[in-house]
Every structure is written in C-alpha cells, then in structure tokens.
Amino acid sequence: ISHTWFLSVIQDEFRAGKINLDSTLKLFEKLKIPCDYDHVKHIFKKTIDKQPDRTIDMEGFRTIYRTIVHRPEFLEIFRIYTRRNRMMTDAELMSFLRREQFKTELNETSILEIIFKHEPIEEVRKRRQMSFEGFVRYLTSEDCSVFRSDLKTIYQDMNYPLCDYFISSSHNTYLISDQLIGPSDIWGYTSALLKGCRCLEIDCWDGPNNDPIVYHGHTLTSKILFQSVIEVIDKYAFAVSDYPLVLSLENHCSPLQQEVMAEYLENILGDKLLTSAIGSSEITQLPSPEALKFKILIKNKKIGTIEEGMLRRGLDSRGETGEISDSDSMSDEEDTEDKPIHHRRHSGLKRKSEAKICPTPRKKAKMKKIKIALALSDLVIYTKSEKFVSFEHSLVHQKCYENNSIGEVKARKLVKHSAREFVSHTSRFITRIYPKGTRTTSSNYNPQEFWNVGCQMVALNFQTPGLKMELQNGKFLDNGGCGYILKPDFLRSRNSTFSPFNVGRYGKPVTLSIKLISGHQLPPSSLSKTNKADPLVRIEIYGVPEDQSKKKSSVIKSNALSPRWDETFSFSIQIPELALVRFCVEDEISVGGNDFLGQYTLPLLCLSKG
C-alpha cells in the first residue's frame, strides 16, 4: 500500500521523465516532509553521479526520499510494536504511546485523532491503522516535541502581584549592535517585543527643536526620535503577549522636554497607558499581570507618592517640576559600582518661580539637583524607580510600588554575601539587574545567578546571540511565551529562608535521565565543504550552583545527516523549579575547538517524557 501511495503522489511530477534539484525540494514539500536544502543537495549530487543533465528519475527520487525519511531508529521501534507487520493497529499505537511516551490518559478517540492527523494514506486511515509513513510524520511533528504541549499556552495563575513573576527584560533596547559606536534603531524595540519581552529600556536626551531623542548618551551611537520609539511600541506592545509592558525610562531630559515626552506617551499610547491606580487609592500590594492586561506602565523617578500624583490628575501641571537630589539620580545606570551611597533621600515639589532650598552636601559628594516635570512624574504609577541603598533600608523605607535597579557587579556581590536577604528583598520589591558599563560589545552576563535569588527583571542585550540569550529565550518559552513566569513558592514567600548556595529543606531532588538516540539533518559546519561534520552533543544543566552540570557525548565521524549515539546521561537535580536544560550540538574541528551547529534550551519542568 505504501509503495502504491508513494507512486500516486509523485507520478505527476515525473510526466516529463526526470526532475531537477528545485523540483525535488518542492516534491518534499508536497509530501509534507521537512528537509534541509544542503542535505538534499548533497544526496542529490551523489544520486546523479556526474550525469550531465543533473536530473533524477522516479527511482532516484525514491532513493533520496528513503535516505532522508526512513530513519533506522524509527523503523526499529515501529517493528517492535507491530511485530514486524507493515501496519500499526490502533491498539499497537496505544501500547507504544503508553509505554514509550508515558501518555497514560489516552483513549480510543485520541488515538484515532492521531491517526487521522498524521497518516497520509487514506486507505490505511479508514482501517484505523498507521503506516510507517504516518509513524514517521507523527514522531517528527510538534505533537512529539521535547517541550510539553500543555505548557505552550498560558497555564500559570496570573493573579499574583507583579513582583511574584520573572519578567522578560531588555537592556538598552534601542541598540542593535555595540554600546559605543553602533546604530540605534526602532527595530530593536520591534524585535524585543516579538520575542515576548515585557520590559523595554529607553534612554532619553534633549533633542533639537524641543523633540526628545533616544541614544546611548556620551557615545557615538546614532540617535532616533523618542516619538518614533513610542509609535513602534504602540504598534507591537501586545503583538505576542497580552500582559503589561513596562517602559523603563533612563531620563536625561530637561523638564521642558520631559513634558514633551509625557505628551507623546499620553497621545500615542492613549488608553493603553496606565495613568491611575486600580481600585483603592491606598496601595498595599502591586496589582497582578491579569489586572494590568493590555496596559503600558512607565518606570521612572517620581516626585512624592502615587496618592499625591492622583490628586493632581486632570489639573494643568505644565511648568511644574519637582527636585530629586543627585544621590537619587535620574539614571540608575550612571553610577559606578563603588560610588558613595547616601542613605537619606531628599525630594520635594516646587513651581518654576519658587526658590531652591538645598540641604548641606556631604564632603566629596556632589549634591546636584535633578528636576523632574510633574507631567511625566505623574505617569509613574506602580513602577517608581528608587535608588538601592541596602536590604535593611528597603525593608524599613521602601513602598511596594518602588523598585530598584542594581548593576551586575554589585548584584553579584550581594548574591555571594547576602543571598537570603536578596531573596527576602525580591519577594517584596521588583528588582532589575543591568549589565556593567564595561560590556561595550553588548556582551551579556549569566542571568541564572540572579533568577536564583528571585530578581524579576534580569535585563540582557537582546541583540547579542550566545549562551546567555539562549538561557533567556529558553526560560521564557514557559507559560505560553507571554513574558511572565510565576516564581517558585520559596522565592515569593516573605518568610522564605531559601539560599541557592544551601537549598536545605527547599530541595525536591529529581533524577533526570536523557537518552541521546540520534540527530537528523544537522546544519552543515561552516568550516566543512563536504557536508560531513563530526558532531557531538553537550547536555548542560543551569540552575542553583549545586545543580550546574555539563556532560558530552562521543563524536560521530563524518555524519551530519543522521548521526547515531544511543548514549544515556543522568543528572541529579535539587531545585528542578529553577533548572534549565540545554542541548548544544557542535562539530569537532580539532582538539582545541569546535564549531557551533545549533542548540535548544528549555526549563527542566517543561521536558516531555518519552
């Protein structure tokens, strides 16, 4: 039956006798078989064997098809469950799914759904059976993805306060290259939003003609209009996720241009912009992502309290400013890691005509005054930027809607020396981590060490590929890719004594066993002209320090099309809730180094069995 079906599908293409490479690729599309151009081209060349017309007949195509589709590891398991018969019955399919794929909840109806979805041969479908062709299509479909299908949609409770979630966050989102001379581009915002990012950064400076600009200040990076940035954010804010978007303003503008910023935010974003608190005016905890669906929040310095700002809504506050001392600077990211920190904040309201009253500055500390336009200040509701002083200071003075930005160097020291206090802090307040200023090439730090202590906004340079962004992208595949992931209980409880360095009673040990069977159509090495890579696979665990682990397979020589390993790896994991699993495929070039071919990272708890 399979042979007859195969001929009936392909015979029209061979009416002229033979087909070329392009027609071969189109025929694979018609047969609904995903294939890699380089691999098909390589096998095609071997099949024509120096024929001058560079075409193949029907038998030649069948050879290529079987080489790519009829994988021996699939045939082996198909034969085990069909007892070497040519067709798999519905009962045999159910047996396979229960024993190999651990799908214990399946019934007769769901088995038939699988057959009707994946079996290409009508006659076999009618018999409620599955051919090897159907079996291959099923095993290579999304239904058999290593990522659990039930976690590809939003499944977590989205009604906890904002601080109870990890939030996908970007650093200097406007940059699409390095931090010193590269271009600024609105594509940075579009790209980040399409990747599910929910906290964007905007560096704002005074521009010509009273029009604020966005760029990396005091560098040669190019400039874009603040208005253009807000317009593109308005367009793509909720393209991927319905949940709230935070605009983190690094604000260097004069009060006059801050008022222009406020006008752009209100006029362009309209009802999307959150301009007042939800429910009670007395704020004792942050609202939830669910309550803030389709809302855009402004993260910036603020004069006074939310309640005071609410009282001014509807009044004309043009020309009115407030002052914040330099110790509570408008730019969290300007500070060096060892800059003196002032424990007392001074802020107050004043009209333009009022006289300044400045506190006596400390010696060595430059107590410069920073002016903030009330029109912009009043747009800050639940995300008020507050300079981080110490965990003790925050516990006494910080309000639930005030949040901190901490540089990676200082944050790493806090993780090392005060991990439990850090966890306690992030259970109460949104904490944003940002890269150190010396990362001029837009390199990234490892976000895992800050997720381990519950930091919500671990901001990375989204434009820079590599391991760190792969961990970011892998983590936020969870919960439907909506950019919000509910933190584990031990990172949300205010009574938690969790430390990533000594998990103690918080450990929930699991043993992860991974059998690496085979690869298929691996990307050819950029350093290989023959399409014959020497692939190996690294399996890595990222999580709390105790769980970090790396193992690698043997090297399969000269086979990028269908390398076969059949090797098993075991890992013992104490905190599965924080663990990520990364599969990295490399081509062994020499003893000294390998060529990266591809990777896939996902949360451990999102792994499918089977």
Question: Which H or E element spans position 66?
Answer: helix 58-69
CB 181, CB 502: distance < 8 Å: no
Output the CA–CA distances (angstroms, integers) from residue 322 to 83, 179, 312, in the order listed: 80, 31, 13
Task: List 338's β-bridge partners, or say none.
Answer: none
- Using alpha carbons, list the distances in angstroms from residue 197 to 244, 396, 421, 426, 482: 10, 32, 28, 20, 8
Q: What is the CA radius of gyration of the chain?
A: 29
Q: Dump the DSSP string for 144-167.
A: G-SB-GGGSS--S---S-GGGEEE
User: Given the structure tokens 């599908």, which residue do they identify?
Assistant: 9
Catalytic residues, by residue number, are 171, 216
For the chain, give percent helix, strand, coil, nearest 5: 35, 20, 45
The Cα 342–Cα 346 span in angstroms is 10
Other beta carbons within 10 angstroms of residue 210's beta carbon come to 11
**DSSP 8-state code for residue 175:** B
How many residues in total does the chain contain? 610
Q: How many Cα neighbours within 13 Å face the side chain of 305?
A: 11
For residue 452, give the DSSP letter: T
Residue ranges with strand state E in 282-426 = 296-299, 320-325, 347-351, 369-373, 384-385, 402-407
Report which of 103, 142, 147, 101 is spatially closest to residue 606, judged by C-alpha positions: 147
